[in-house]
């Protein structure tokens, strides 16, 4: 903006920051009202808003002719000791921070190299390897602790010996607060837009539609992934999520797929009784116990070799006159007689 020649202008490299402050203050007052001037009147950094100041007329000219435009504030520097990935569990974070602190404290003895050699196969310290996803966070903490140890400041740097360093801190604090308000307002606008979209979606007449196709969902479909769990980075790679266990997933799907069928009163009991009556049993001629037909052969083979039933066995042979038969013949004869008796 070209100012009239009769105005006293802040010219020179040393007045660039003052000129920028006048322009921004005039634009801010133009947008939010003169009440801002009342708050800044006693602040020496904004003394140009007082009539006795040499640049007061220039400030008034800028305020009268400036057109307030919505400006996007610049994102401030991130905090040096808070800039790391938050998708990590507290336990793993404590392990990484403690390891980084010990490595920096014992930097002269190459403690980090010794750790890599000694715990190369340890899964809890696998983040020491460059290919591990948490290695970058470990390196960040190493650098942060080195800054603390060496009493060095990370960006943004400024000279504390300069008498105006307090104004620098205040200006950066104001910029951070301004960006926070801007981001908060942008987030509220986004929420409002999302709400209006939901209202528009709900306003549709969903009862009036044409069927264009059907989608059938199978019971064997895999369980959907839990992205909140996936985004959580872990030190131990051996820990797996449930959805990798295909066997358990299939079993769960099978259990969900089965439906309970209500039966009439007494139907289950009658069905069970029917199944029991269908199983044919044969009375053992030696022990006189009822044995299922499918297990009768094995039952006889065991008895013929069991010395505890030798008396019953000899008595049965004497009654049926089969003492001159071999063991195999005795087995076949007893089986034939028992089945004939059962029939």
Q: Whose CA is closest to 146, among 99, 105, 96?
A: 105
Domains of the chain listed by start with CATH number: 13-65 (1.10.10.790), 279-342 (no CATH)
Predicted local confidence at residue 244, as pLDDT: 42
The answer to whether 22 and 65 are in contact (CB under 8 A) is no
User: Is-above-0.75 flag for pTM?
Assistant: no
Alpha-carbon span 23 to 15, nearest angstrom: 12
Can you tell me the distance from the alpha carbon of 269 to that of 261, in angstroms, rounded to the nearest whole number? 15
The answer to whether the Cα torsion of 74, 79, 84, 85 is positive or negative is negative
Strands (DSSP E) contained in the chain are 281-283, 290-292
**What is the structure's pLDDT at 83?**
64
Cα 187-68-3 angle, rounded to 5 deg: 150
In tens digits, what is the pLDDT along the chain, a chain of 343 residues?
556 666 767 777 767 788 888 888 888 887 777 777 777 877 878 888 888 888 788 788 877 776 656 667 887 777 767 666 777 888 888 888 899 898 888 888 888 888 888 887 788 888 888 888 888 888 888 888 888 887 766 555 655 566 677 777 788 888 889 899 999 999 999 999 999 999 998 888 878 878 888 888 777 777 777 777 666 767 665 544 443 444 454 555 555 545 555 555 555 665 555 555 566 787 887 777 888 877 777 777 777 766 666 666 676 666 665 555 555 666 676 677 666 665 5
Distance CA 66, CA 26 (A): 8
How many CB atoms sit inside 10 A of residue 309's CB?
16
Report how far residue 82's alpha carbon sits from residue 76's, in angstroms, rounded to the nearest whole number.
14
For residues 73 and 27, is the Cβ–Cβ distance under 8 A?
no
- CA–CA distance, 111 with 124 (Å, rounded to integer): 17
Query: Residue 282 gets which letter from DSSP?
Result: E
The per-residue pLDDT for 240 is 44
- Cis, bond preceding 156 (omega within 30 deg of 0): yes
């Amino acid at each position: 903006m070209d100012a009239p020649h009769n105005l006293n202008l802040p010219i020179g490299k040393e007045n660039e920051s003052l000129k920028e402050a006048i322009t921004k203050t005039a634009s801010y007052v133009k947008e939010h009202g003169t009440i801002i001037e009342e708050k800044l009147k006693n602040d020496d950094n904004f003394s140009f808003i007082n009539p006795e100041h040499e640049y007061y007329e220039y400030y008034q000219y800028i305020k009268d002719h400036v057109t307030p435009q919505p400006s996007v504030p610049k994102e401030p520097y991130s905090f040096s000791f808070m800039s790391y990935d938050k998708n990590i569990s507290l336990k793993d974070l404590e392990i990484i921070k403690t390891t980084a602190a010990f490595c920096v404290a014992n930097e002269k003895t190459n403690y980090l190299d010794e750790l890599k050699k000694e715990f190369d196969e340890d899964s809890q310290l696998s983040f020491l390897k460059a290919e591990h996803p948490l290695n970058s966070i470990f390196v960040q903490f190493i650098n942060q602790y080195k800054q603390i140890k060496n009493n060095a400041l990370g960006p943004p740097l400024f000279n504390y010996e300069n008498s105006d360093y307090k104004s620098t801190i205040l200006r950066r604090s104001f910029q951070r607060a301004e960006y926070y308000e801007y981001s908060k307002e942008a987030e509220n606008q986004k929420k409002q837009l999302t709400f209006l979209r939901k209202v528009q979606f709900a306003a549709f007449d969903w009862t009036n539609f044409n069927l264009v196709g059907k989608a059938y969902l199978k019971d064997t479909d895999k369980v959907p992934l839990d992205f909140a769990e996936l985004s959580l980075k872990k030190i131990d790679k051996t820990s797996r999520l449930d959805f990798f266990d295909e066997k358990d997933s299939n079993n769960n799907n099978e259990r969900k797929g089965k439906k309970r069928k209500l039966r009439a009163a007494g139907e289950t009991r009658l069905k069970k009784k029917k199944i029991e009556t269908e199983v044919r049993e044969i009375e053992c001629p030696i022990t006189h116990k009822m044995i299922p037909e499918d297990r009768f052969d094995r039952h006889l083979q065991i008895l013929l070799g069991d010395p505890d039933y030798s008396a019953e066995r000899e008595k049965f042979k004497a009654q049926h006159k089969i003492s001159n038969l071999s063991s195999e013949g005795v087995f076949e004869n007893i089986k034939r007689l028992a089945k004939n008796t059962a029939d």
